[in-house]
Structure 1
C-alpha cells in the first residue's frame, strides 16, 4: 500500500513545498491521535481543497480515507517507522523546491512563496483547529489519568406496607422472622431485582446462590444498611470488611463485640475504684451487687473461653490470640472479623463467601460450628460442600427475582431441575392446546353457523394464562488451549531444597518433589504452612537457600495468584486490559478470548472495577491463558467464582493435556481434578495416598482430640 506521502504527491502533483510540509507534518505528528476519516478531513481537508480546483469535497474525503487506512496500517506495524518517514522524505524534497534555502536553518523555517495559491487564512484556521483538538485530547487524557474512577452506586426501593409500618411504630412486633416484600435493587442504571420477595424464618440457615454479577453481594449490603425494611429490634451483622489493625489484642478484639458485657465490666471497674479511693456516696455497694448479678446472668466469666474456642477453630494459635490486630495480614483480619461476628451472635448473620479466607481445616470447623447456630444466617457461597453441610434452605437469584427451596444444595439442584422440566412440559402442553384451538378458529372464522363457537374459543384463548418459554441460563464453558508438544518428564522438580525467610524459622527442609505433564496435584495445609511459598519456589520466583530447582527448557507456566484479581488494572475495560498485556492484536481476538470466559458484549467494555468478583476472576483467567501455557499453577482459583464456573473450570482442567498444580480449599474442584494430594506443613510436603477423604478424616480426628467435636 502506498504511503500517505506518495498519496499526496500522486493526488496533488502541483502542491507547493511549504504546504506539503504542513500537511505531512500534521499527519506525521498526529498519526496516533486520528481515530476516524472525519478527523483527518477536519484537520487538512480545507487546505487540500484549495490545492486543486478539480477536486470537490467528496474527492478530498476519499483521499483522506486512503491516508487514514495507510496511517492505521503503518501504526500497527511499526510506530517508529511512521515517525521517521516524513522528515527523511521532506529533507529530500528541499532539493526540488523553488525556494532559496541558503539561509534556512531548519525545514520548518522556510519562507512562504508569494505566488502560492493557497488561502493563508484557511491554512491558519486549519492549524488553529488542529491545535485546539490536540489540546482538548491532552486535557481529556490527563483528566482520565488524574481523576479517580467514579463507580455506580447500588440502591434499593420497597413498596410501603401500612400494616407493617403501624406494627413497627407500636413496638409490638416481637417476631424475629424477616419478610421483605415487593422490593427492587439496582446498581447504577441496571436492575438487579424487580418486585422480589424474601422470607427468612428465624433459626434457619439460607444459602444465597446465583450466577456472578446478578446482585448477591449487593443484596447483602442493602440488607445490612437497612435500605430494605427489616424490623429495628433485629440485630444484623455483615462480615464484609477486615478488622482495622491497632494495638488491641486479637482475643480482646473479639470480646469487645459483646457491648453489654463490656459496659458492665467498665461500670464495675469504676465503682470498685471509687470504693478503694474512699470517695463514696454510699450507693456503690448496691450497684455493684446488681452488676455482679447481671454478669453472672450473661455468663460473662465464660466469654473469654468461648472467644478463644472460636479463634482457635479459625486457626489462631494461643500465641496469635495475644498478638495485636495490626500485626496480622488482611486475610487474618478477615478471619478476625468472622470470629467477632460469631461471638456477637446477631439475630441475622450475613456472610459473603466466608470460605474464601479459610483453609480446609478452618472450613470444616466452621461447618460444624454453624450447624448448631441458633439464629438466622444468610450466606453467599459458591462452595457446594459447604452449603450442603450448613444450609437448611437455598435462595436462588435469577431473572431479577428470588426463589426459595427447602433443603441443602444437592436437594436444590434436583428440585430445580424437576421444576424446570415441569414448567417446560406445561408450556409445551399449553402451546399444543392453543394451536388446536387456533386451528378451529381459523377453519370456521367465516362460517356463520359456527360463529358462536368461534367466539367461545376466542374468549377461551384470552382467558388462558400466558406461560413463558423456559429461560435457560447460558452454559459456562472454559477451555485451556493445549496445542503444544509433549515434554519428557520430569518437567518441574525440586531436589533436597531448603528454604527460609529467616534462619530461625525454616519453611522447608530437604524437600524433594516433582511434576510432569500428566500431573494433577492439589496442595493443602493450614494457612501459613508454606503453600504459596512452595508455589513461588516451583515458579522460580524464590531461589532455594540450598538444593536445586529443575525446569524443562520448554516449560511455559501459567500462574493464577490468589490476589490476581486485586492486581488487575481497574480503570480500563477488559478489552483494553488484554490490549495492554498483549499489544498489536485485533480487537476481535481480545473479545473472542474474553467471550470464552463469559465476558462478552457490554461486560467486555465496562471498567474492570465495575465487574463483580467472579467476573474479575474470569478476566484474570482470560489474561492468563492467552499466552497458551503448557503447565498451570493455580493458587485458590475458585475464590469469587460461581458454581457453574467452578464446574466449567474443573471440566477444563480435566481435559487439559498439560500439568496442573493446584492450591484450593474447594472440595468439589479437588475431587474433580486432582489425582495427588500433597499436605504442606512442618517443614516438608507429605503425599496422602487416600486423597481428600483421608485428609478430612485426619482433620476430624484432630478436632476430636482438641475438643471441637
Structure 2
C-alpha cells in the first residue's frame, strides 16, 4: 500500500514548513516543502510523478498518476499562504496498489527534491519583490454624456447661471462602480447634505466635482476643504486673508502702481488704473477683511494669540481648521465640505452651524452629524444603489419623506403583484379551454407589456455588538484622586482632578480642543502618570481604547484579516472573519488592503480590533468620526446594551443624547459635571457667543 499523509498543523511561524510524507512500501520519503510550492496538479506531477510511478508495478498508467497528483493538490489547497495558516486536523489520502513493496529510486527522489527547491527559490524571489514594491491603490474616475449645445455655451462664456446640473454620469473607483447614469442638480444659494452608507462613494463624488472630472461651468469657482494648510512662516490670519485671491491681486497691483508713482515712472493710464483699483477695493470692503477673517478664526477656536502664530506652529488638526477658515473667507460659488465637524469641538460646531445658516452661495456637505444637518442644510441628497435621490428639507424631513416613499412603493408593488396574480389565475384556469383561447392569449400579451416587477429595495440593518461575558467588578473600578498633571511646568493641564467611573457609567467628556480631554483619557488608562495624586484601577479591569487617530495606528498595507491575525495570533480564519463581520467588514472587504477602505470602514476595522479581547470597560475618543448615521445609531444601541463601563469624548450630539447619563466639561485645568446635560451645555455656549458678538 502507498499512503500519502498531508500534515496540516496550525502554525504561524513562516520559517516552519509542512512535511509531505510518502510511505512507499516500508520506506518513508520526506520532501521538505509546503503546499504553497504547487500552483496546480501538473506541478505536483512534475515533482513526484516519477517517484510514484517507480514505486508500484501496477501503477504505470500516466493518467492514473496524474489523477493521484491532482487529488494531492486539491488537498493542499486547504493551506492558506496569504495568511500563513494551516487548517485543522491531519488529512489522509490513501492510494491502494495491490503489489509487493518496491524500493524507492534514490535518483528520482533526489531529482524531485531538486525541482521543489528550485521552485521555492523562484517563489522567494517573487515574494521579495512584492514586499519591496509600494502598495498601488485604485484610482477614482468619472465619465458623463456630453451635450454639444452645453459645451458650446460654456466655451462661449455666455453661460452665466450659477445653477449646476450634471446628467447621466458614472463614477467608479478602480473596477468598482459607485454611480451609474446618475443625475445631480445644485441650485445656487441652496445648502445640500450628501448622505449614504460608508464606502458608497460620497467623498469620491466630491473629489470628482472639485477636480472638474464632472463638468461644472467654468465660471463657477469651487473650493474643496480636503487637505490641511501647508506649514510655513505665514501667519494664521494672513493665511486666511490670502485665500481671497481677488483682494490679494488688487492689493499687490496697488502696491506696484504706488511704487511707480513714487519713483516718477508711472504713466497716465496707470494713474487711472489705480483709481479703478481703489474703487474696486472699496466695493468689496477690503478694509473690513482682517476683521471678518479674525471673526471666522475666533469662531473656529483660534484665540487672538493663536492668530498671530505661523502655520507651521500648528498641529495637523488645527491646520485643517485653517483650511476650513480659508474656504469660509474666500466664499466660493460652490463650497464642498467633507465631514467638517470631525475636526471641531462642540463649541466650534455650534458656531459653524450658525455661520453657514446665512451662507449665500451653494454648499454640498458630506456629514453624518444628524444635528448639524438639521441645523444647516436646505436639501438632502441620498446616495444609494448607485444613484442619487434628492429630498427637500433637513434630515428629519428626509427620514419622514423617505418612509412615506417606501410605504407608497410597497403598496404599489403589492397592488401590481396582486394584479399579476389575478391575470395569471385566469390564464391557468382557461389555458386548455378552446373557447377562451383568444382571451388567454390577450391576457398573456398583457402580462408581457406590464413593467418589470421589482421588489422593494431595503438597506441592510447595521448591527454592532460589544461582547460582555465577564464578571461584575465591585466599585471603585476606575478613579483619579487629587491628580495634578502637566507636560511642562509653564502649562499645568490639571490641578486637583478627582473623577471616578464604574461598570454602570455612561460618561461623555466635552470641552474645547486643547482643554485636555485626550490627556485625561490617557490618565484614566494609565498611559500617563500623574505628577501628583493617585490613579486607582480594579485589578480585573480590562480597558478597550478607541483613539481619534485610530487610522494612523492601523497597518494599511495588509487586509483586515491579516491585521487581526498579526494582533491576535493563534486563531483560524473563520474567527477573524466572524469578528470583522460583526462590524460590517464582510466578503471581499475583509481581503482588500486596509488602505483602500473608506474612512468609515477603517473605523469599523478599528472597532473589531478593539473588541477582540473582550474588555469590560471602554474609553472612546471621538468614535463617530467617519461613521455613517446608521452605524452611529447601531453604536449607540451597542453601548447601551453593553454591561461594562463607558467613558467617551464626543462632539456628536445624537450619540451623546442616546448614550450618556453624565456630561463632564473639561476646562480651566479641571472637570466639572453639568447637571442639565447637553441642553444646559449648549445654552452656555450660545450665551458665550452672544456676549462675544459671534451671533
Q: Same fold (TM over 0.5)?
A: yes
Q: CA deviation at 1:54?
A: 6.0
* 2:23 paired residue number: 11
Structure 2 Cα separation of the partners of residues 379 and 55 of structure 1:
72
| Aligned match for 1:310, one of 291, 296, 307 | 296
Equivalent position SS for 1:11: strand
| Aligned match for 1:701, one of 674, 677, 687 | 687
Residues 500-540 of structure 1 deviation map (CA, whole Å, 9 limit, x = unaligned) = 11100001011111100000000100001000000111111
Structure 1 residues 585, 235: CA separation in 2 closer, same or farther (over 3 Å shift)? Answer: same
Structure 2 Cα separation of the partners of residues 479 and 702 of structure 1:
39
Q: CA deviation at 1:662?
A: 0.4
| Aligned match for 1:288, one of 242, 255, 274 | 274
Structure 1 residues 566, 52: CA separation in 2 closer, same or farther (over 3 Å shift)? Answer: same
* 1:105 paired residue number: none
**Contact preservation (8 Å) 1:40, 1:68:** no
Is the counterpart of residue 641 in structure 1 residue 627 in structure 2?
yes
* 2:512 paired residue number: 526
| Aligned match for 1:489, one of 475, 490, 503 | 475
Is the counterpart of residue 324 in structure 1 residue 336 in structure 2?
no
* 1:611 paired residue number: 597
Aligned residues: 663
Structure 2 residue ranges without an equivalent (≥5):
8-16, 88-101
Correspondence 1:405-420 to 2 at 5 A: 405-420=391-406
**Contact preservation (8 Å) 1:522, 1:677:** yes
Correspondence 1:70-149 to 2 at 5 A: 118=105, 120=107, 122-149=108-135
| Aligned match for 1:632, one of 606, 613, 618 | 618
Structure 1 residues 119, 526: CA separation in 2 closer, same or farther (over 3 Å shift)? Answer: same
Q: CA deviation at 1:134?
A: 1.3
Structure 2 Cα separation of the partners of residues 244 and 535 of structure 1:
30
Q: CA deviation at 1:174?
A: 1.2
**Contact preservation (8 Å) 2:49, 2:66:** no
Structure 1 residue ranges without an equivalent (≥5):
79-114
| Aligned match for 1:580, one of 540, 552, 566 | 566
Is the counterpart of residue 197 in structure 1 residue 183 in structure 2?
yes
Mean CA deviation greater in 576-585 or 474-483: 576-585
Structure 1 Cα separation of the partners of residues 140 and 71 of structure 2:
49
| Aligned match for 1:254, one of 236, 240, 243 | 240
Structure 1 Cα separation of the partners of residues 67 and 420 of structure 2:
60
Equivalent position SS for 1:478: coil
Residues 262-281 of structure 1 deviation map (CA, whole Å, 9 limit, x = unaligned) = 11111111222223334444
**Contact preservation (8 Å) 1:50, 1:119:** no
Q: CA deviation at 1:607?
A: 1.2
**Contact preservation (8 Å) 1:44, 1:126:** yes
Q: CA deviation at 1:583?
A: 1.1
Is the counterpart of residue 429 in structure 1 residue 387 in structure 2?
no
* 1:156 paired residue number: 142
Correspondence 1:292-371 to 2 at 5 A: 292-371=278-357
Structure 2 Cα separation of the partners of residues 528 and 32 of structure 1:
55
Structure 1 residues 165, 275: CA separation in 2 closer, same or farther (over 3 Å shift)? Answer: closer
Structure 1 residues 76, 159: CA separation in 2 closer, same or farther (over 3 Å shift)? Answer: closer
* 1:383 paired residue number: 369
Structure 2 Cα separation of the partners of residues 700 and 619 of structure 1:
37
Residues 2-28 of structure 1 deviation map (CA, whole Å, 9 limit, x = unaligned) = 99699988933543xxxx6xx53x42x
| Aligned match for 2:220, one of 206, 224, 234 | 234
Structure 1 residues 32, 705: CA separation in 2 closer, same or farther (over 3 Å shift)? Answer: farther
**Contact preservation (8 Å) 2:19, 2:34:** no
**Contact preservation (8 Å) 1:153, 1:188:** yes
Equivalent position SS for 1:207: strand
Structure 1 Cα separation of the partners of residues 116 and 686 of structure 2:
73
Give the TM-score normalised by the residue count of structure 2: 0.90
Q: CA deviation at 1:623?
A: 0.8
Is the counterpart of residue 264 in structure 1 residue 276 in structure 2?
no
Structure 2 Cα separation of the partners of residues 43 and 151 of structure 1:
37
**Contact preservation (8 Å) 1:498, 1:544:** yes
**Contact preservation (8 Å) 1:207, 1:378:** yes
Mean CA deviation greater in 631-640 or 36-45: 36-45
Is the counterpart of residue 395 in structure 1 residue 407 in structure 2?
no
Q: CA deviation at 1:478?
A: 0.2
Q: CA deviation at 1:127?
A: 3.2
